[in-house]
Structure 1
Amino acid sequence: MRLCLCIFVAFLLAAQANLRGRAYTLQRSEANRAVRWNKKSIRFALSDSFFVAPNVRADRAEIVRAVRRALARWSAETGLHLGLALSSTQSVSSSASSGDGINLITVADAPENLALFADEGDLAGRTRVFFNPRSGAISEADIALNPNLLFSTDGTPGTFDLEATLTHELGHALGLAHSAVLGSIMRPRLRMNDARESVVDLRQLAEDDRAAARALYRPNAEWGSLMGKLLFADGGPIFGAHIFIEEAATGRVIAGGITREDGSYRIDGLPAGSYNLRIEPMDGPIELGEIARSSYAPNVFRAVASERPIEVAFNSATEFNAKLENVAPKLNPRLLGLTAHLSAVPLSLVPGRTYTVLIGGEGLDEVVAASSDSPYVAVEEVRSQGEVAGLSLLSVSVRVDAAAPVGEYSLRLQTMEGESAWIAGALLVHRPAPIALGAAEIPDATDPIWLD
């Protein structure tokens, strides 16, 4: 019998992963090895339950295209060949087994699938990963979408986007856990489509996701690393801090990481370049409990920024250490939106347009200035909007330059006394034109081969 462990990773609303905090983050084995595939070709099996499920509002061709697009995104970044077949198998493998050798994607209301959502019925998907507890080598990954929630491929209000959900769950199947960068496809939550705004623009991989994919599957010579330790002034470690870096020239968020219990962190998979570093507590919009469980409570401190850009080179590690004051933050933005419908998901913006962004949280009545770290994003007209349900509200005007590069950008709020808070990767700048995926730009909608 194979020596194997399985872990669950989940998406949406109140997801938590039983993992150590690390960059972006990655799943870890008992021996603290990265959980990853050791082979270059992996075949996933799409259960025929998708073609008859009453909760999937899409025809057969649209479903197959959505799955193939999701696979193509990760294939392009990892260099893996991610194939697709069809299967009559309905159920994920039992956690008590070592797997059945099929990397299943299913939406069937089979008992084993339903059991995954027994205590968390509002989760859209869960992934069960089987791996060697010593080496971290994945032997099987099964994805189940919630049979009791609605999915679509066209932004139908009241449904979850099938393609975005599958892209997220495939990230788990490849070894990624959740990210604290709001614009990442691996963020803990995906909002439902509604009549005001759909999430079809939020299907793409962020730079943070690409960095994670490189770190897991690309040769070290193709990327660099950032590592170090965060301590308080008295020498105590800072656990659960979110460190994220922005491209110095554009302000785009490139990757993020989370400090471990000893205050250390490491972010791999970085392109060579010059970066500005920001450090913030994980008190919202994404909280530490949504990414990592620990017997340690996260430490309390105020957000800070590096004084000068940090240089990262290929095939080497740059060290950045810092000591912070143990001072509780007053400023804590938690939610945002383009309408009064606020949530903890990124805002989809188009270059050349101006938007009114509403932000909710604690201490926002003390904000006197808002900005972006990018020359392509102008933030103006900070206005208090009162208080609702215990949260103070403010609105800002955000103008995206017509030449803004596609990517994820942050919002920065400041108070009169000088306290700052960032919403990392909150602004997802995209262009309405289709994003090329090479040969998979318009995926084949014909049926894959059958496994059984």
Structure 2
Amino acid sequence: MTRPATIFWFLLALALFSTAAAAVDLEPNADGGRNPEARWRRGQIPIVFSTSLLKTGSSIRPDSDVQGAIRRSLETWEAAVDIEFQVSWSDKTAISPTGGSGDGISLVTIAPIAENLLVFSGEASEIAARTRVFYNRRGEISEADIVLNPYQQFSTDGAIGTFDLESTLVHEIGHLLGLDHSPLAGATMNEFQGKNGIFNLANFSPRTLSLDDLTRIRSLYPSSADDCCGSVDGRIAPASGRGGKSLSVWLEEPETGRIVVAARTAADGGFSIRGLTAGTYSVYLQDPAGGGQKLDDIQISRGKTTVYSKKTVSVARNYDVRFAGLIGQLSRVAVPLNGGRTYQLFLGGKNLRPEELTVGTTSPFIGVSKPSPARLDYGREMTVLTVEISAAAEIPLGEYTIYVENRDGTLDFLPGALTVEKFSNPWSITSFE
């Protein structure tokens, strides 16, 4: 399931892309609960596409390259790990009902029939798609049905106000394979998907898997070589010893600042990350209440598990940063940048006073100017800063972190809020390629 991102625009007070209420990521079967490490037992995965996706009058815009979007979305995951989709087509239109074992057919459909519309009732009518997963008694995935929302519009050409069909399919196929949502804003598997038109751009970024997506899918479907990857089992505990909060943890490449993978801690502070290439990683933490911290550098070795434990101190702060954007718009989706260009970046949150704050990134390839207040009215509940942000021409493609630092040393991070893409973003104010 993907949810549309909230957008704030100084010209349009009404939200063009509103936020739906929280919903389950993957619907469990009647035997209860979803196994977060569940996967298909075999590398050959059957998937059936409903002919409703090809019919005139569906929610997919005419002249869209539907079959091309389907083919590319499957190839994206096949190129990442050793799996193969066995594709067929059917006149079947309805997904399997919840509460049973399913019919054994993994169906992708957009048919506007009662069984499918039921999963988009209420505020869920705003989301792009939903995936319902079934498991066998061994806890393996036995079926996964994807239904695209017939209440929404899809396209393959970036038409404003529509969801990108290929981006939506790549995300939902990730769920079909067993992936949950990622806390990383720039990941394909992040829960928020922007419609085409956010920042006046086509939302093609989720078509390409992030390092986070690649690392997490490798953990479910590892290479045949047992020593291809390493892992980390960690625990983040507050100095008080009281847990209960879910924290965001992510690993970056120390040399580039590029994010490799992100995870959320359990109630006891534990987290586990698999599928890591051998090397050194910088560990970062974001506490929703206590701000962000850089913790340590850790070493990952092939075929081995690194055990990591850290006690942290929560620091009170009276500000936060929640959104980033371009051209006066703020959103939860990642801001796309191109190397060799400078952009005016907008940051929105609470009590963001430019005279008390500096804005920075964790990458040596990204430069940030001093902040200044935005000359736009976002209402009393939102303060907005602007900075000029420059990405070096040689910056690697991928996701990067931006942060706000108070003069008292407290930090607040937006991990993955910047994504360096090959897709062109023309909103640069200068180019130095």
Aligned pairs, how many? 398
Shift of 1:30: 4.8
Name 2:160's counterpart in structure 1: 157
1:96-148 deviations in Å (ceiling 9; x for gaps): 3322222111110011100010121101100000112x532011111001001
* CA shift digits 1:286-311 (9 cap, x unpaired): xxxxxxxxxxxxxx3231112x4211
How far off its partner does 1:58 sit?
4.2
SS of residue paired to 2:353 = helix
Q: Give the equivalent residue in structure 1 for 2:70.
A: 67
Q: 2:274 aligns with which of 250, 268, 274?
A: 268
Q: Is structure 2 residue 46 aligned with structure 1 residue 56?
A: no
Question: Gaps spanning 5+ residues in structure 1: where?
Answer: 1-8, 21-27, 284-299, 434-452
Q: Of 185, 197, 201, which aligns to 1:197?
A: 201
| Partners of 2:69 and 2:357 in 1: CA distance | 44
SS of the residue 1:35 aligns to? coil
Match of 1:388 in 2: 378
1:187 alignment partner in structure 2: 190
Q: Give the AA of the match of 1:79.
A: D
Q: CA, structure 1 residues 50+30, in 2 after alignment: closer, same or farther (shift >3 Å)?
A: closer
Distance in 2 (alpha carbons) for counterparts of 1:64 and 1:426: 31
Q: Would the aligned equivalents of 1:55 and 1:149 in 2 still touch at CA under 8 Å? A: yes
Name structure 2 gaps, 5 residues minimum. 5-18, 425-433
1:66 alignment partner, SS class: helix
Q: Relative to structure 2, which stretch is displaced further, 104-113 or 80-89? A: 80-89
How far off is 1:384 after superposition?
Answer: 2.0
Partner of 1:140: 143
Q: 1:411 aligns with which of 376, 398, 402?
A: 402
Residues 1:170 and 2:173 are matched in the alignment = yes
2:307 to 312, 319, 343: 319
Match of 1:40 in 2: 43
Distance 1:368 1:327, change over 3 A: closer
Deviates more, 1:413-422 or 1:227-236: 227-236
Note the 1:368-447 alignment, pairs <5 A. 368-385=357-374, 388-389=378-379, 390-432=381-423
How far apart are the structure 2 equivalents of 1:431 and 1:138?
A: 34
Tell me: CA distance 1:99–1:18, structure 2 relative to 1, closer, same or farther (3 Å): same
Give 2:250's aligned residue.
244
CA distance in structure 1 between the partners assigned to 2:416 and 2:83 by the alignment: 27
TM-superposed deviation, 1:314: 1.4
Pick which of 205-214 and 74-83 moved more.
74-83
Counterpart-to-counterpart distance in 1, 2:104 and 2:196: 34
Residue 361 (structure 1) aligned with residue 349 (structure 2): yes
Counting aligned pairs with the same residue, the percent is 34
Aligned residue identity for 1:209 = D
Contact 1:228 1:266 in 2 (8 A): yes
Summarize the alignment of residues 106-125 of structure 1 with structure 2, pairs less than 5 Å apart. 106-119=109-122, 120-125=124-129
TM-score (normalised: structure 1): 0.83
**What is the Cα-based RMSD across aligned positions, in Å?**
2.1
The 3-state SS of whatever aligns with 1:381 is coil
1:302 equivalent in alignment to 2:291: yes
Task: Find the aligned partners of 1:19 and 1:217 in 2 and give their Cα distance.
Answer: 20
CA distance in structure 1 between the aligned counterparts of 2:393 and 2:378, rounded to whole angstroms: 34
Find the aligned partners of 2:45 and 2:240 in 1 and give their Cα distance: 49
Tell me how far apart the structure 2 counterparts of residues 270 and 108 of structure 1 sit (CA, whole Å): 40
- Of residues 104-113 and 234-243 in structure 1, the stretch that sits farther from structure 2 once superposed is 234-243
Assess, with a 3 A threshold, how the Cα gap between structure 1 residues 187 and 33 changes in structure 2: closer, same or farther: closer
The 3 A distance-change label for structure 1 pair 278 and 363 is: farther
Which of 340, 348, 353 is the matching residue for 2:328? 340
